[in-house]
Amino acid sequence: MAVTKHTLVALVEDRPGALSRVASLFRRRGFNIESIAVGHTETPHLSRMTITVDGATTAVEQVRKQLDKVVDVVKVVDITAENLVARDLALIKVKATPATRGEILQIVDIFRANIVDVASDSIIVEVTGDEDKVDSLFQLLRGFGIKEMARTGRLAMSRGPLGPLQGGGKDAPRGRGRKG
């Protein structure tokens, strides 16, 4: 089966309005974005956005090119075809009674997740991994009753020595700093 989920990484000038420019673009062009994660990078004044797009419903190449036209976007690369490390982090607050707590702890242990808060009738589980792992843990904990969940969306990085300004996806030569 062809991979339809694409991962785009955009390096964006850390200016007021940069995020709303990107968000506005997605809305206006009708792009369907599955997740977007934003944070600082190794370079001051640059933010990194990791965007996942379902290629079955959205023309990913158009997303990449339109993103690249945003003046605050310094570079955008589709890293889907690369050897990736992709991680999602979730905090899950799950109901825990004295009777169920032991079982929950076992599951958490199997998933190499962490307990980061314990209250009288609930605990907060912190899990990091690819989306499938987070999804599976969520499904298993669901039976106990989930009170709250927060997820970051995918963060991704290519394996190997190259940084984001040197590496690139399959279309990197056309994707570098090209504006219209």
Q: Which residues bind another protein (CB under 8 A)?
A: 12-13, 16-17, 20-21, 24-25, 28, 61-62, 65-66, 68-75, 174, 177-180
Cα 64 → chain centroid? 16
Q: Closer to another protein by CB, 18 or 127: give it.
A: 18
Cα 37 → chain centroid? 5
In whole angstroms, the minimum distance from the beta carbon of 24 to another protein comes to 5
Contact 86, 51 (CB under 8 A): no
Contact 10, 69 (CB under 8 A): no
In whole angstroms, the minimum distance from the beta carbon of 3 to another protein comes to 20
In whole angstroms, the minimum distance from the beta carbon of 76 to another protein comes to 10
Q: Closer to another protein by CB, 72 or 130: give it.
A: 72
**What whole-number distance in Å separates Cα of residue 151 and Cα of residue 171?**
30
**What whole-number distance in Å separates Cα of residue 26 and Cα of residue 117?**
36
Q: Closer to another protein by CB, 27 or 119: give it.
A: 27
In whole angstroms, the minimum distance from the beta carbon of 71 to another protein comes to 4
Helix-helix angle 18-29:60-69, to 10 degrees: 140
Task: Please name the helix (run of DSSP H) or strand (run of DSSP E) that holds residue 110, with its range, or none.
Answer: helix 101-110
In whole angstroms, the minimum distance from the beta carbon of 164 to another protein comes to 13
Q: Closer to another protein by CB, 23 or 150: give it.
A: 23
Q: Closer to another protein by CB, 98 or 180: give it.
A: 180
**What whole-number distance in Å separates Cα of residue 12 and Cα of residue 36?**
13
